[in-house]
């Protein structure tokens, strides 16, 4: 069997660790030698109320098993306080798992400002604030591992989840940029789209599938991505019930139009097949791999003369 990956001496912050996936992450990291900050506001699924009991009982359980953990009850909207708990209790922070979340599912027609704002605040702004608070430490120590929790709803959309899906895809954008900005400091950031039975999904999945969709099937990938030995950064993964798959953007070859007056809506219509064709795809990982300069040169080369001599585009 492969050698056990350990986290001795590491300090791991898990947001929203009072239940569901976060609880399993915290138990796992503590069992492998890490010191864990168990953050949970203890709110309801839709974001009301607050209670210390979920975080406290998990910290107690970890300690009884011989592990090291402290509780923190701040909302991720108060990210600096969560990181402060790690620094005060353990003197450092190495791994940050942005996991806290709430739902306010409604059709877009029914969705209120409050439904939108709460979900954006917890998922997107919360992840921003906690990560921002840890960033300087990660840079200084030239080590950091960050997980952003996205969702298949973010990647593909889902009925009744405009607030949640938009926040979740934004986290992929955040993750991709942090992966690039963090690269030279050995700060790695990856996004996961989990599928698991928790209070968040108990009304989505039938009870029979619960044993197949354990949170325990999410932890191994998260823990691997957060290990010293893992070089992966800027990735996104869908996983659940033992399946783990990387997802990425696919780009076709497209069609290059002459950059002149012949480039009309009707020309777009005529080339729709080529524009939407994926038979020769490529998979850009960074913005520089979408080579706009080359595409512009091709567009100019396709013109009858130098581009600046072409008729200007007209939209009247």
Known catalytic residues are: 164
Q: State how far the alpha carbon of 101 is from the alpha carbons of 54, 165, 259, in Å.
A: 15, 12, 47
Residues 87-106 close enough to bind ligand NAI by CB under 6 A: 99-102
Q: Output 97 or 259, the one with its CB closest to ligand NAI.
A: 97
Q: Output 240 or 260, the one with its CB closest to ligand NAI.
A: 240
Residues 6+ apart with CB under 8 A from 180: 234, 286
What are the backbone angles phi and psi of residue 288, rounded to the nearest 5°? -75, -15
Q: Output 129 or 259, the one with its CB closest to ligand NAI.
A: 129
Q: Applying CB under 6 A, which of residues 5, 31, 32, 42 lies at the interface with ligand NAI?
A: 42
Q: Note whether 122 binds ligand NAI by CB under 6 A.
A: yes
Greatest CA separation for the chain: 78
Q: Output 20 or 234, the one with its CB closest to ligand NAI.
A: 20
Backbone CA torsion sign across 39, 75, 41, 208: negative
Phi-psi group of 55: left, alpha or beta (phi > 0 → left; psi -120 to 50 → alpha; rest → beta)? alpha
Q: Applying CB under 6 A, which of residues 151, 161, 176, 219 lies at the interface with ligand NAI?
A: 151
Shortest approach of ligand NAI to residue 100 CB, angstroms? 3
Tell me the residue length of the chain: 316
Q: Applying CB under 6 A, which of residues 76, 162, 170, 225 lies at the interface with ligand NAI?
A: 76
Q: Note whether 175 binds ligand NAI by CB under 6 A.
A: no
Q: Note whether 39 binds ligand NAI by CB under 6 A.
A: yes
Q: Note whether 160 binds ligand NAI by CB under 6 A.
A: no
User: How is the beta sheet containing 95-98 ordered, strand by strand?
Assistant: 68-72, 35-39, 11-14, 95-98, 144-149, 187-194, 236-240, 243-247
Shortest approach of ligand NAI to residue 132 CB, angstroms? 15
Closest CA to 239 of 261, 258, 223, 217: 217
Interaction site with ligand NAI (CB under 6 A): 15-16, 18-22, 39-43, 45, 54, 75-77, 99-102, 122, 126, 149, 151, 193-196, 198-201
């Amino acid at each position: 069997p492969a050698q056990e990956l350990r986290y001795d001496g590491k300090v791991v912050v898990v947001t929203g660790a009072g239940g569901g996936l976060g609880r399993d992450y915290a138990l796992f990291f503590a069992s492998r030698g890490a010191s864990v900050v168990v953050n949970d506001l203890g709110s309801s699924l839709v974001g009301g109320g607050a209670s210390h009991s979920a975080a406290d009982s998990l910290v107690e359980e970890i300690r009884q098993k011989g592990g090291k953990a402290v509780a923190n009850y701040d909302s991720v909207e108060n990210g600096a306080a969560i990181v402060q708990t790690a620094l005060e209790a353990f003197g450092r922070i190495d791994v940050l798992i942005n996991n806290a979340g709430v739902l306010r599912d409604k059709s877009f027609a029914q969705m209120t400002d409050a439904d939108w704002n709460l979900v954006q605040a917890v998922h997107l702004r919360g992840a921003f604030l906690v990560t921002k608070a840890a960033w300087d430490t990660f840079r200084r120590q030239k080590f950091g591992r960050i997980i952003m929790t996205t969702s298949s709803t973010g990647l593909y959309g889902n009925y009744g989840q405009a607030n949640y899906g938009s926040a979740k895809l934004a986290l992929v954008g955040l993750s991709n940029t942090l992966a690039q900005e963090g690269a030279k400091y050995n700060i790695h950031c990856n996004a996961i789209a989990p599928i698991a039975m928790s209070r968040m999904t108990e009304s989505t999945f039938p009870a029979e599938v619960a044993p197949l969709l354990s949170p325990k099937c999410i932890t191994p990938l998260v823990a691997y991505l957060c290990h010293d030995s893992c070089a992966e950064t800027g990735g996104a993964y869908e996983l659940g019930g033992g399946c783990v798959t990387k997802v990425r953007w696919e780009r076709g070859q497209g069609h290059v139009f002459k950059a002149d007056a012949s480039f009309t809506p009707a020309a777009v219509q005529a080339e729709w097949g080529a524009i939407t064709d994926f038979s020769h795809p490529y998979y850009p990982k960074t913005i520089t791999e979408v080579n706009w300069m080359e595409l512009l040169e091709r567009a100019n080369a396709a013109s009858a003369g130098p581009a600046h001599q072409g008729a200007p585009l007209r939209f009247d």
